[in-house]
Amino acid sequence: MDGEPTEIPLVNDAARADDTPRLEDFPYRLSDNVRFADLDPNGHVNNAVYATYFETGRVTLVKDMSHGLMPPGLAWIMVRLDIHFRAELHWPGRIELGLGLVRFGRTSTAFDQVVFSEGRCVASARSITVMIDEATRRPTPLPAEVREKFRRWVRRGVDPEAG
C-alpha cells in the first residue's frame, strides 16, 4: 500500500482558530441527521459515531454509480482514519458532511473530511482508501478514468498529484 501523504497538512492538524476548515472548500457535501442513538451517557455524540459520519460521506460518493468511481471488479477499502474532535455535538440536529480529495497515490486516495453543525466545524478527518481487485483482494493501481472522474471532488486549494 502507498502509505500516508506527508506533504499535505492534515485537515485535522489545525492548531489555530483561523485554520478551521471551511465547508465551502469541500466540493462533495451532503446533509444528515444526528440520531438519538448517536449519543453517549454524557449526552453528546459518541466519538465512535463520527467514523460512521465520515463513512457516510465517502461511501455515498464512491457508490453513486453516476460518478464512475467503482469500476467492475474493483472495490475500495479503508486503511486509515485520523479524526480531530473539535466541539461537542448534540441531539437533535442536522449536520453537513464535506469531503475533498487531497492526494492520489498509486493505489490509494486520501480525503479530507468535515462535519459541520450550525455553521461550525465539529470534527475533521483525513481518510485513506485503497483500491483493490475484488477477486485477489490485493491493491491495484488506480485506473486513469477513476483518477479523472475524481478531479471534480478535489478540495479547494489542493493539488492531488503533489508529493
pTM above 0.75, yes or no: yes
Helix, strand and coil percent figures for the chain, each rounded to 5: 25, 35, 40
pLDDT in tens, 146-157: 999 999 999 999
Give the pLDDT confidence of 40-53 residue by residue, as tens digits: 999 999 999 999 99
Contacts of 147 (CB under 8 A, 6+ apart): 104
Q: Alpha helices of the chain — where are they, by DSSP H?
A: 47-63, 144-150
Cell of 37: 442513538
